[in-house]
Amino acid sequence: MGLAHGLSGCGAGRQSPAGVSRTKANEERSSAPSGTFVADSLWKEANTGTEIELQRLANREGSAGLVSAASRNDEWSIVAVRAMPFTDDALMALAFLCDSARTGTGQYERAVLEALHAIIAEPPRDTEDLASEGIPVCRAHLPSIAARADLEASARDLATSALRMLDERTRPR
């Protein structure tokens, strides 16, 4: 069973505040280079960390745009990661997030684990099996991440919980 089938309908509790359209997530993408994020009002607003601003950024960028921005490893990477759970295609970011959780440090690592946990806990509705490539990556990396002694206990708990949810939601029925 693909992740989409195992997780379909699990995002039913996810709410989008008024004024935030999740239906256009794949229509508009920004490919601004790192230096221009500071001039982009949507990125600046999302940097404040409010959920609605992160949702607006996610709607414009989608997973591909946010993964691209997070891959730049600059001050905007955390903003990109924090917005990933709000995209309509958030499951497409699973492999990136699980790879990043292995090598990230500090606040970035914490943001990655929080985003990963949020996506698995409440995946977007109407997802497709295209996201399933992230499942083996997460299954391979989450056990070692959860066992890392150098992580704070709460970060290890996020990894453990994400792995358990992934197992539970992708188990054949």
15 within a domain of the structure (yes/no)? no
Does residue 4 register a pLDDT over 60? no
Check residue 110 and give its pLDDT. 92
Distance CA 91, CA 150 (A): 27
Residue 35 pLDDT: 52
What is the tens place of the pLDDT at every residue in 69-116? 999 877 899 999 999 999 988 988 999 999 999 887 888 999 999 999
Q: Specify the pLDDT at position 38.
A: 59
For residue 162, tell me if it sits in a domain. Answer: yes
Does 6 reside within a domain?
A: no
Q: pLDDT tens across 120-147, in order?
A: 998 877 555 445 678 888 989 999 999 9
Q: What is the pLDDT of residue 119?
A: 92
* 103 found inside a domain: yes
Residue 58 lies in a domain: yes
Q: Within a domain: residue 33?
A: yes
Domain count, the chain: 1
Model pLDDT, residue 126: 57
Is 11 within a domain? no
List pLDDT tens digits, range 9-50: 344 334 333 333 333 333 333 444 445 565 688 998 998 878
Closest to 99 in 3D by CA, of 151, 137, 154 = 137
- Which residue did the predictor score with more confidence, 173 or 85? 85
Is residue 91 a part of any domain in this protein? yes
Mean pLDDT of 64-73: 91
pLDDT of residue 26: 33
- Cα separation, 61 vs 92, in Å, equals 13
Mean pLDDT, range 50-61, rounded to an integer: 94
Task: Supply the range of the domain harboring residue 74.
Answer: 24-170
Give the separation between CA 151 and CA 106, rounded to whole angstroms: 9
- Terminal-residue alpha carbon distance, the chain: 8
